[in-house]
Amino acid sequence: MNVRLYIWQRATAAIMAPLVLVHIALIFYATRQGLSAADVLSRTRGSIAWAAFYGIFVAAVSIHAAIGVRNVLHEWTPLTERRAGFCAIAFGLLLAALGARAVAAVVLP
């Protein structure tokens, strides 16, 4: 892993640490009486705060996971660094696209 990717991975980890804590707390809160779509969507739909929270979360996790996958592919499979990089970029873009769609699905009124 080069320095640029190392810094991106650590920076996204630092950004996500508080977000993950809030997300875990929310998982516990949302499941207190069984998870329901009405409960989830009443909290998130039309909320700029949740849109920003999960928008940042999706962007950070897409970068963080892609770099992690790149490292694993390069170190644990016969793939060259270049091919591992291509796979990681594809995975990161997939995560970003699916994540953006998921955020839109739960926050747009």
Partner 1 sequence: MIARHLKHRGSALWLAAIVHRLSGLALAAFLPLHFLALGLAIEGEARLEDFLRWTDRPLVKFAEVALVFLFTVHLLGGLRILVIENLDWREGQKQLAALAAAVSAIVAFVFLVRVF
Contact footprint for partner 1 (CB under 8 A): 10, 13-14, 17, 20-21, 23-24, 27-28, 31-32, 34-38, 40-41, 58, 61, 65, 68-69, 72, 91, 94-95, 98-99, 101-106
Nearer to partner 1, 84 or 103 (CB): 103
Instruction: State the burial class of residue 50 (Cβ atoms within 10 Å of its Cβ: 0-12, 13-18, 19+).
Output: middle
Length of the chain: 109
Q: How many other β-carbons are positioned within 10 Å of the β-carbon of residue 32?
A: 8
Smallest separation, CB 68 to partner 1 (Å): 5
Min CB(82)–partner 1 separation in Å: 20
Query: Alpha helix locations (H) across 31-76?
Result: 37-44, 48-76
- In the bound state with partner 1, the residue whose beta carbon lies nearer, of 80 and 90, is 90
